[in-house]
Structure 1
Amino acid sequence: MDSILEKAYDAEAFRNTAHRIVDQLADFLKENQSGEAPKAIAYRPAQEAYAYWESVAGQPQPTEDLFGAILAQSVHLHHPQYMGHQVSPPAPLAALGSLLDGLLNNGMAVYEMGMASTAIERVVTEKVAQQMGFGPEAGGVLTSGGTLANLTALLTARSVKAREAVWSEGQAQPLALMVSEEAHYCVDRAVRIMGWGEAGIIKVPVNEKYQMRADLLPGLLADAEARGQQVIAVVGSACSTSTGSFDDLNAIAAFCEANGLWFHVDGAHGAALAFSPRHRHVLSGLSRADSVAMDFHKMLLTPVLATALIYKEGRQAYRTFSQRAHYLWAGQTEEEWENLAKRTFECTKYMIGVKVLTLWQAYGMGLWEAYLDKVMANGETLGRLVEAAPDFELALRPQCNIVCFRYAPDRLPPEQRSARNARIREALLADGAYYIVQTILKEELYLRVTLTSPHTEETHLRGLLDKIREVV
Structure 2
Amino acid sequence: SLVDGLLNNGMGVYEMGAAGTAIERLVVKTVARQMGFGENADGVLTSGGTLANLTALLAARSVKSPSPVWQEGHREQLALMVSEEAHYCVDRAVRIMGWGEGGIIRVPADGRYCMQAGRLEEYLRKARREGKTVIAVVGSACSTSTGSFDGLEAIADFCQKHGLWFHVDGAHGGALCFSEKHRSLLAGIERADSVAMDFHKMLLTPAVATALIFRDGQHSFRTFSQKAQYLWERETDEEWFNLAKRTFECTKLMMGLKAYALLRTYGPELWAQYLDRVMELGRRFATLAQETDGVELAVDPQCNIVCFRYHPEGMEGEALNALNEAIRQALLEEGRFYIVKTNLRGSTYLRVTLSNPFTTEADIRALLGSVAAIAAAGIKSGAGERNAY
Contact kept? 2:194, 2:214, Cα under 8 Å? yes
Secondary structure (helix, strand or coil) at the match of 2:270 reads helix
Measure, in 2, the Cα distance between the counterparts of 1:383 and 1:441: 17
**Structure 1 position 237 matched with structure 2 position 140:** yes
Specify the alignment match of 1:209 in structure 2: 112
Shift of 1:414: 1.3
Q: Taking every aligned residue pair, what percent have the same amino acid on both sides?
A: 62
Q: How does 1:116-135 map to 2 (within 5 A)?
A: 116-135=19-38
Contact kept? 2:294, 2:372, Cα under 8 Å? no
Shift of 1:331: 2.4
**Is 384-393 or 223-232 further displaced after alignment?**
384-393
Specify the alignment match of 2:195 in structure 1: 292
Specify the alignment match of 1:353 in structure 2: 256
Question: Structure 2, unaligned stretches of length 5 or more?
Answer: 376-389
Shift of 1:400: 0.1
Q: Using CA pairs below 8 Å that are at least 6 residues apart, which structure has the higher relative contact order?
A: 1
Q: How does 1:335-374 map to 2 (within 5 A)?
A: 335-374=238-277
Measure, in 2, the Cα distance between the counterparts of 1:432 and 1:346: 39
Shift of 1:469: 2.1
Shift of 1:408: 1.2
Could you give the per-residue CA deviations for residues 60-117 of structure 1, whole angstroms, max 9, x where no partner exists?
A: xxxxxxxxxxxxxxxxxxxxxxxxxxxxxxxxxxxxxx11101111011100110100
Shift of 1:189: 0.3
Aligned partner of 1:395 among 292, 295, 298: 298
Letter in 2 for 1:460: D
Contact kept? 2:227, 2:234, Cα under 8 Å? no
Measure, in 1, the Cα distance between the counterparts of 2:155 and 2:195: 14
Secondary structure (helix, strand or coil) at the match of 2:342 reads strand
CA RMSD of aligned residues (A): 0.7
Specify the alignment match of 1:409 in structure 2: 312
Question: Which ranges of 4 or more aligned residues in structure 1 deviate by more than 6 Å?
Answer: none
Specify the alignment match of 1:150 in structure 2: 53
Aligned partner of 2:223 among 304, 316, 320: 320
Shift of 1:389: 2.0
Measure, in 1, the Cα distance between the counterparts of 2:338 and 2:292: 21
Shift of 1:413: 2.1
TM-score (norm 2): 0.96
Aligned partner of 2:4 among 79, 101, 105: 101
Give the aligned length. 375
Measure, in 2, the Cα distance between the counterparts of 1:188 and 1:343: 22
Measure, in 2, the Cα distance between the counterparts of 1:309 and 1:340: 12
Could you give the per-residue CA deviations for residues 303-339 of structure 1, whole angstroms, max 9, x where no partner exists?
A: 1110000000011000000010011112221100010
TM-score (norm 1): 0.79
Alpha carbons of structure 1 residues 470 and 389: separation in structure 2 relative to 1, 3 Å: closer
Q: How does 1:50-449 map to 2 (within 5 A)?
A: 98-449=1-352
Question: Structure 1, unaligned stretches of length 5 or more?
Answer: 1-97
**Structure 1 position 452 matched with structure 2 position 359:** no
Shift of 1:387: 1.5
Measure, in 1, the Cα distance between the counterparts of 2:78 and 2:149: 26
Secondary structure (helix, strand or coil) at the match of 1:140 reads strand
